[in-house]
Amino acid sequence: METEKKFIIIDGNSVVHRAYHALPDLTDKNGEAVGAIYGFILALFKIVKDFEPDYLAACFDTPKPTFRHLEFKEYKAKRPATPENLKSQLGRVRSLLGDLDVAFFEKEGFEADDLLATIIKKTREEAAGRELMVYVLTGDRDSLQLVNERTKMYILNRGVKNSFIYDREKILNDYGIEPEQVVALKALAGDTSDNIPGVPGIGEKGALELLKKYKTLRNIYECAENEPANFLDGSKAKSAKIRDLLLANKEKVFFFEKMVRMRDDAPIDYCLKKCFFTDFDKLKTETALAKLGFMSLVKRIPFKTHLVIQTLFKI
């Protein structure tokens, strides 16, 4: 039986942002900010050490507006501007990955989330019939919509050490819904981080109640429109109020569904072979760390177990 292969995909912007806000300000010898880069390296080294992936890649946003910004001017409008010292670190993280021979992808008009979805879909098609598990390293729970039997989310939660893995079972246990329902949850309940308002008066609790009963947005609206007497349980007044809210915001809900769904058709030049990962090259990695002033991380460079065994026994 074929040994299961592992593919780690890093949500680059999410991990760098998490590191930027979690770690104290660090600067290199030139006085340039490097704290977020340091945190990114810690996360990268930890996940490579823990999983020993056969494939490794990262995805990034670009500064250009995406199709979401063009169709919905309020999209992420309330987010503060990215600090200049964070922008510079995002650029240096890309350079670092290049130095380490780690594949990364970005595409104007699309978010890193869309690239994640696209790579997962293309990988599933390319690796059909093979034992390959995809793990996405991210701090963004929006990505839970991508979970399936061959894809899991490695969610950062207040630091690398407190991370945990979301599979289908954990999503069901924590939220009471399936991964396929996460998009509908956000369309109904809204998402303050992306400035998606959802349906006023519904909230997450109400959205979960609807999805547990009706499973999909289309089922919710079919019952609300065609079977009003049977809509929801509980008091007639409550059911009527929720039904009225849903019907008044129907067009918006399906538009929000489109905005929060990660697209899996981003036009990127991708194939699984490009992401093949054997191990970090010791000299290249040490040189890259020295350039950043991170010599203290040299001892943390992870190497796959089989290579360590080969070195010890001179195989």
pLDDT digits (tens, 9 = 90+) for 118-130: 999 999 999 887 8
User: Helix, strand, or coil here: 245?
Assistant: helix
Q: Which of 77-81, 193-197, 285-289, 305-309 has the highest mean pLDDT?
A: 285-289
How far is residue 132's CA from residue 114's CA, in Å, rounded to a whole number?
Answer: 21
Q: Are residues 173 and 183 in the same domain?
A: no
Angle at 306 between CA 301 and CA 311, to 5 degrees: 75
* Domain total in the chain: 2
Angle at 276 between CA 298 and CA 154, to 5 degrees: 70
Q: Are residues 150 and 11 in the same domain?
A: yes
- The enclosing domain of 138 has a CATH number of 3.40.50.1010
**H or E stretch at 308:** helix 305-313
Q: Are residues 116 and 197 in the same domain?
A: no
pLDDT value at position 260?
96
User: Helix, strand, or coil here: 63?
Assistant: coil
User: Helix, strand, or coil here: 135?
Assistant: strand
Q: Are residues 170 and 183 in the same domain?
A: no
Assess contact for 86 and 36: CB atoms under 8 A.
yes
- Which of 260, 281, 302 is the endpoint of a domain? 260
DSSP 147-161: -BTTEEEEE--SSGG
Q: Are residues 15 and 32 in the same domain?
A: yes
Please compute the mean of the pLDDT values over residues 38-62 and round it to a whole number: 95
pLDDT value at position 304?
75
Q: Does residue 309 have a pLDDT over 60?
A: no
Q: Are residues 45 and 63 in the same domain?
A: yes
Q: Strands across the sheet with 103-105, in order? A: 103-105, 55-59, 5-11, 132-138, 151-155, 164-166
Assess contact for 41 and 96: CB atoms under 8 A.
yes
Please compute the mean of the pLDDT values over residues 161-186 and round it to a whole number: 92
Tokens of 148: 């399936």
- The enclosing domain of 201 has a CATH number of 1.10.150.20
Assess contact for 157 and 163: CB atoms under 8 A.
yes
In terms of pLDDT, which residue wins out, 163 or 136? 136
Where do the DSSP E strands lie in 35-171? 55-59, 103-105, 132-138, 151-155, 164-166
Listed residue (151, 153, 103, 155) closest to 124, CA to CA: 151
pLDDT value at position 234?
59
Q: Are residues 116 and 189 in the same domain?
A: no
Q: What is the pLDDT of residues 295-307, one digit of tens each?
A: 999 999 998 764 4
Q: What is the pLDDT of residues 189-243, one digit of tens each?
A: 999 889 999 999 999 999 999 999 999 999 999 999 998 888 887 567 788 899 9
- Which of 245, 260, 275 is the endpoint of a domain? 260
The per-residue pLDDT of the chain, averaged, comes to 91
Please compute the mean of the pLDDT values over residues 73-96 and round it to a whole number: 90
Q: Are residues 301 and 232 in the same domain?
A: no
Please compute the mean of the pLDDT values over residues 134-144 and round it to a whole number: 94
- Which of 219, 235, 260 is the endpoint of a domain? 260
Please compute the mean of the pLDDT values over residues 32-55 and round it to a whole number: 95
How far is residue 183's CA from residue 153's CA, in Å, rounded to a whole number?
Answer: 16
How far is residue 236's CA from residue 229's CA, in Å, rounded to a whole number?
Answer: 8
Q: Does residue 262 have a pLDDT over 60?
A: yes
User: Helix, strand, or coil here: 243?
Assistant: helix
Q: Are residues 103 and 239 in the same domain?
A: no
Lowest mean pLDDT among 245-259, 277-291, 294-308: 294-308
pLDDT value at position 110?
96
Please compute the mean of the pLDDT values over residues 42-65 and round it to a whole number: 95
Q: Are residues 188 and 294 in the same domain?
A: no
Q: Are residues 61 and 152 in the same domain?
A: yes
Listed residue (280, 114, 64, 79) closest to 194, CA to CA: 79
For the chain, how are helix, strand and coil distributed in percent, rounded to 5? 55, 10, 35
Q: With bands split at pLDDT 50, 70 and 90, how would you rate the model's confidence at 158?
A: low
Q: With bands split at pLDDT 50, 70 and 90, how would you rate the model's confidence at 155?
A: very high
Residue 243 backbone class (left: φ over 0; alpha: ψ -120 to 50; beta: rest): alpha
Domain that residue 81 falls in: 5-177+263-313
Q: Are residues 112 and 37 in the same domain?
A: yes
